[in-house]
Chains A and B, each alone.
Chain A
């Protein structure tokens, strides 16, 4: 019995990142005990929020069978537009928009932009990779043209967004007078994870996302409406990107339209390292969470063990390759288990007496 459990553990998608997180945490901690300080951990968690929320959007589309490269621009479009509109509103009327509505505005924009992606992929059958590179550029262009491209500085930013960036849970006063604590956005991250997990696991449409990523024609034969699933996935991803956008902009208290540029690959890498297959059809929120934790753990702490910051990129790249190799080895191992599995064939053959039960 324990032999079968060992096999199951070894082939679990999330095992690699979990193992690495544990090993590296211990390693970093030994190298520099500062690692285990509460403040450091809180800081690490806060670092994970923005990539973590974006990663959920990426994961959804990746499970459905493709790589989305437009999510950062959707997020920024939503957040920048919201900031600009509310900033103007605030300056002219003094009206301060409550935080939930701030988020809702960005989420709505994200939904609309996401549905454009769905149109490209579903109606015009453009592969997701190509469709989202195009849409990213379209969104970027539209934003600069019709919304603006200037920075919005803290004095003009919507008040609630500024406030949001300062809310700390479990605040503690340190000896030198500063206040440290767990930022509230970590709670938001947890909520996004939970909701995404719920949708993926407990709704039929969510399971349809896995199906369409597994095999499109089988999905159709099973009765799913392919277009419906695509619209659902891309709109949901857009909404989540919208949330991430607001968090990102609030964090630095400045609406800088170029802020998220270039971060796409790091987030996609975190999702893949966490076990979501690049080919689609499988993936879990747990895996994504671990992947994001792992990548940020490394980026934050390489410096603790004396690795110069220039090498962070190198380590990052090596990590991705390592993760893909392990995934590929896991695949080979799984296939070997089928071929040499006398155990499964024996149980199968034992039930030779087919009972014609009514």
Chain B
């Protein structure tokens, strides 16, 4: 029986008297891939920070490679072979690939001088081990996200990692890149390196892991080999409930076409795209990175306007050259990245929700009474099920799922007729995800036309009634979702 790479026995952690981790037992063996699953606030990151030495722990014992560490510093953790890759990959954008890969090793070995040639050789060796080719001299800031991640993984390998903890590694990746990551993980596994894979996404969990450990409210709820799990069982353990998603059916009989695109193009983004969306429909638009789907959304919202073709709203041609134009036509847009594009993180929830309709909340003298802002926020918080916190709570203090609901509320406040949502459930826990789907379906039933950009094939088939697949700026496939299988759709996305 091999020595486990890490062994947590009865670990508990308190923050100001509040117990955030309760009696955690966890063992990871060399070459094992463990999926750590849990909603926001479950204690996942606390546990990771304990293993990596950033946090201390109050009860229990941590052993790494058989050695007991009642106390551990980040340096000791790294020396013992623990590496954490955070969601931002902790790379230096202005520096080269080679330097990013070797810098932490440089610091770890306490080297005073930098030997560029030796470092380059090492970086090259590590890249070859993983089997990917990236130009060692390119600036990391200029690499696509998936390659930045490879650089981060290489950095971990260069430091002789025995356990690599990846925090939500697939958030910014497309399906193809996720497959490549899975292949890399399998390669690392074969070399005896263990991986803890933290993820929300069920498909990936099943694709790559040997074991699943589920944390809920600071407790290890289940820790078993993957074979004993089914999707439903996993969802049940994560949320404590059974969540069933009923596929969306287009009920409305109306032929009322709310928005139509006729041969629209924008140079460098998309070309000759046409589609119609009726009131009550949910149209999903999907495709790989670079397919033009985000650009399409931005064009409909006036951020990057079309250059050719026509957009018709309510059967009349609409000139959409700015966001103002889009709003005038009743179009709202939920952006892909809520943190940088959707929320004012340093402002309160009521400021955020009322930001789109602030003008309309003025009283005669031009002043905006804060009560009106608070009332509006309160209305939407109840309607969308946002956690009940005081109205002046900063947006940054809400979980991912709640933050997404705040952005939704903000746009619903303008009472749009056409709602475009770009990856609405990205980085959102399973429970919030299904609740957001329910909200979307409810909106459709109320007569809105919904266009949803998404990468998640399961989500598309469950939520939308029609799907558009794009590739390199063109529409390559269009179909009703009824009767379409996941495999069919995935194939269309990859092959075009």
Contacts and interface: CB of A to CB of B under 8 A. Distances in A.
Interface stretch (B90-98, B300-308, B358-366, B440-448): B90-98
B94 A214 contact: yes
Contacts of A210: 92, 94-95
Contacts of A213: 94
Given A214-B94, A354-B132, A356-B186, A223 B147 contact: no
B144 interface: yes
A313 interface: no
B176 A281 contact: no
A147 B185 CA distance: 65
B397 interface: no
A353 B111 CA distance: 36
B99 interface: yes
Contact of B99 (A207, A345, A351): A207
B130 A215 contact: no
A157 B14 CA distance: 66
Interface stretch (A86-94, A170-178, A198-206, A239-247): A198-206
A338 B140 CA distance: 11
Interface in B99-138: 99, 103-104, 106-108, 111-114, 116, 128-134
Contacts of B93: 214-215, 281
Contacts of A353: 131
B114 A222 contact: no
A352 B133 CA distance: 10
Contacts of B116: 202
A349 interface: yes
Contacts of B114: 201-204, 206-207
A224 interface: yes
Interface residues of A, number: 42
Contacts, number: 109
Interface of A: 201-208, 210-211, 213-215, 217-218, 221-224, 277, 281-282, 334, 337-341, 344-345, 347-358
Interface of B: 74-75, 78, 84, 86, 88, 90-95, 99, 103-104, 106-108, 111-114, 116, 128-134, 139, 141-144, 146-147, 176, 180, 183-184, 186-187, 190-191, 268, 290
B180 to A, nearest CB: 7
B130 A354 contact: yes
A347 B133 contact: yes
12 contacts: A202-B116, A204-B114, A207-B114, A215-B93, A222-B104, A224-B107, A277-B94, A281-B93, A337-B142, A338-B142, A338-B143, A352-B180
A338 B144 contact: yes
Contact of A221 (B86, B130, B131): B86
A357 B127 CA distance: 11
Contact of A223 (B94, B104, B134): B104
Contacts of A345: 144, 290
A218 B90 contact: yes
Nearest to A339: B290
A357 B131 contact: yes
B112 A348 contact: no
Nearest to A212: B92
B190 A356 contact: yes
Contacts of A339: 290
A281 B92 contact: yes
Give 3 closest A-B pairs by Cβ, nearest first. A218-B90, A282-B94, A223-B107
Contact of A354 (B111, B141, B176, B187): B187
Contacts of A206: 114
Given A223-B74, A351-B131, A354-B184, A204 B94 contact: no
Nearest to B177: A348
Interface centre among B91, B107, B112, B184 (most CB of A within 10 A): B107
A281 B92 CA distance: 8
Given A204-B106, A222-B107, A354 B91 contact: no
B132 A217 contact: no
Nearest to B115: A202
A228 to B, nearest CB: 11
Given A208-B107, A221-B74, 16 more contacts: A203-B114, A204-B107, A206-B114, A207-B103, A214-B93, A223-B104, A281-B92, A338-B143, A339-B290, A340-B268, A345-B290, A348-B134, A348-B147, A354-B132, A354-B183, A356-B131
